[in-house]
Amino acid sequence: MKVKRLTKKKFNVVASPVRRRDQMPIRRLQKGKYEISVDTGQRYSNGRKIYRRERITGNEKDAKRKERNMQEQILQELQQLKEQQHPQQKNSKNTPSFQELAERWLSMQESLKKESTLRRYRQILNNEILPIFGKMQIDEITPDHVEDFYYNPEKKGKALHNHKSIINTVMEQAKKKKYISGEHYRNIAEIPIPSWESKEVNCLKDDKDIADLLFQLWLLESVLFVPTYIATATGGRRGEICMLQWIHIDFDNLIITFIKMNTKNKETRTVKITEVEGDMLREVKEYRNASDHDYVCINSLGNPTNPETLSSNFRKMARKLGYNINFHSLRHSHNVILQYNGLTRRYIQEKMGWKDSRMLDRYSHIIEDREDPVAAEAIQNITSKLKSKIDTNSDTNKENGPPKGEPNSDM
């Protein structure tokens, strides 16, 4: 008869072909129960390794699967700890470049922005921003990089608010995707752009000069007369003016309404005009025999004026008449004349459709605010001078009235 030898009970070890030599094995405690120990990469003060241990119920495959999961979890925790301690040494293999995020953002804007706005964004990106930041990974762009870009001597005198808006928007997308931290984004977003105060605004600052320009356009029977007149009377943007229909002009209450779908900030804006201005526009409508739903600004074919075409033709005509201005300069002129007449910053902000009154700081003609002037009368001198020129003009074969707006060309 064989005598059974008494031995100390041992735990069974589950073999693992990929196990490191210094890694503790999976131990089977009893049938269906295992203990997994994984090195955490840390040590006690005496030098001994720190293991993370867990016990599970299952089979051998379950134990190996649990071991792999624990290893991956520990690696992720170590990586996160490393990134917190050394944010600039973050492994950025999966971090996109600035150009990738910029293109992704721009594609999302196609259904939200006008084509002219998208074209301007692409021009700024392709010509100025991407040559500097395009190939850089988004987390490599530091506040110093952005500040150097804004204050580059080659950009002196250039308005950079669109550049700043694009850069901040792309970096904000990176923050939302957790490619950069919130603090990293804020440090870039809070960088100020160079002051506009040093840039001289190019516009006509004298109401006599504006009246002369309008009179010359009237003599030429140019289709540019009506949009130019509305721009000087309201300070409207070209896109807002081109989309005006006669139904948007209330001749009884002397109000022009720029509806929200056509404004830059997507908010409806009303502008008060004078009785003289209202009479001038009413004459134009009656002369054309236009209906309420006809467009106010039309080309030589009677179709709505295209904003890009308006800008191009106005610039050429202005040069021909001796004025070094563009169509947007008329908006500047309107603002300057309002300030000359002592209108408050708040009134000018609302009339011009600005969200921030600091836009007024672009102009060097800033005077002390006053609350007493009648706002709509600040521009009426232009129309008065224009009407006087038209009424006293005897050297032309035109009828005494506004032009049809249907000459042989769009100029």
Q: What is the tens place of the pLDDT at every residue in 147-178?
A: 888 888 776 657 788 889 899 999 999 999 88
Residue whose tokens read 């236009």: 290
Same domain, residue pair 169 and 268? no
Classify residue 249: in a domain, yes or no.
Answer: yes
Ranking 110-124, 162-176, 235-249, 290-304 by mean pLDDT, the lowest is 110-124
% of the chain with per-residue pLDDT over 90: 16
The stretch 346-355 carries a mean pLDDT of 64
Q: Does residue 372 or residue 271 have the better pLDDT?
A: 271
Give the confidence band of 367 by pLDDT, cuts at 50, 70, 90.
very low
Classify residue 196: in a domain, yes or no.
Answer: no
> Would you state the pLDDT for residue 224?
92
The stretch 194-222 carries a mean pLDDT of 75
Same domain, residue pair 270 and 137? no
Distance between the two ends of the chain, CA-based, in angstroms? 122
* Contact of 166 with 146, CB cutoff 8 Å: no
Q: Does residue 336 or residue 171 have the better pLDDT?
A: 171
Same domain, residue pair 245 and 339? yes
Alpha helices (H) along 42-181:
60-85, 98-108, 115-124, 130-133, 143-150, 161-176
Number of structural domains the chain divides into: 3
Give the confidence band of 101 by pLDDT, cuts at 50, 70, 90.
very high
Classify residue 283: in a domain, yes or no.
Answer: yes
> Would you state the pLDDT for residue 342?
60
State the Cα–Cα distance between residues 189 and 386, nearest whole angstrom. Answer: 47
The stretch 183-194 carries a mean pLDDT of 85
Tallying the residues shown for the chain, one arrives at 411
> Would you state the pLDDT for residue 131?
92
The stretch 295-320 carries a mean pLDDT of 90
Ranking 133-147, 314-328, 381-395 by mean pLDDT, the lowest is 381-395
> Would you state the pLDDT for residue 133?
92
Same domain, residue pair 141 and 232? no
Within 252-325, strands assigned E span 255-258, 269-272
The stretch 386-393 carries a mean pLDDT of 66
Examine the pLDDT at 134 and tell me if it is beyond 60: yes
Give the confidence band of 301 by pLDDT, cuts at 50, 70, 90.
confident
Same domain, residue pair 61 and 82? yes
Same domain, residue pair 176 and 310? no
Last residue of a domain, one of 136, 158, 189: 189
State the Cα–Cα distance between residues 334 and 236, nearest whole angstrom. Answer: 9
% of the chain with per-residue pLDDT over 70: 70
Ranking 237-251, 266-280, 330-344, 389-403 by mean pLDDT, the lowest is 389-403
Domain span holding position 172: 98-189
Same domain, residue pair 236 and 368? yes
The stretch 193-208 carries a mean pLDDT of 66
Give the confidence band of 226 by pLDDT, cuts at 50, 70, 90.
very high
Classify residue 215: in a domain, yes or no.
Answer: yes
Q: Average model confidence (pLDDT) for the chain?
A: 76
The stretch 20-34 carries a mean pLDDT of 73
Classify residue 267: in a domain, yes or no.
Answer: yes
Show the tokens assigned to 356: 């921030």
Q: Looking at the DSSP assignment, which residues form a beta bridge with residue 245?
A: 295
Same domain, residue pair 229 and 340? yes
Cα–Cα nearest to 220, from 392, 389, 408: 408
The stretch 357-378 carries a mean pLDDT of 45
State the Cα–Cα distance between residues 364 and 198, nearest whole angstrom. Answer: 9
Angle at alpha carbon of residue 260, lines to 257 and 261, rounded to 5° = 120
Same domain, residue pair 171 and 313? no
Last residue of a domain, one of 86, 115, 147: 86
Determine how many CB atoms are found less than 10 A away from the CB of residue 9. Answer: 5
Same domain, residue pair 311 and 231? yes
Q: Does residue 185 or residue 15 have the better pLDDT?
A: 185
Residue whose tokens read 């170590």: 78
Examine the pLDDT at 369 and tell me if it is beyond 60: no
Of 2-16, 88-102, 124-138, which one has max mean pLDDT?
124-138
Q: Does residue 6 or residue 86 have the better pLDDT?
A: 86
Classify residue 408: in a domain, yes or no.
Answer: no
Same domain, residue pair 213 and 183? no
Query: pTM here?
Result: 0.53
Same domain, residue pair 248 and 373? yes
State the Cα–Cα distance between residues 163 and 391, nearest whole angstrom. Answer: 48
Examine the pLDDT at 387 and tell me if it is beyond 50: yes
Classify residue 410: in a domain, yes or no.
Answer: no
φ, ψ for residue 42 (rounded to 5)?
-115, 165
Within 285-340, strands assigned E span none
CATH number at residue 309: 1.10.443.10
> Would you state the pLDDT for residue 382?
65
Angle at alpha carbon of residue 116, lines to 114 and 120, rounded to 5° = 120
Cα–Cα nearest to 63, from 22, 106, 27, 19: 27
Classify residue 1: in a domain, yes or no.
Answer: no
> Would you state the pLDDT for residue 246?
94
Last residue of a domain, one of 158, 189, 220: 189
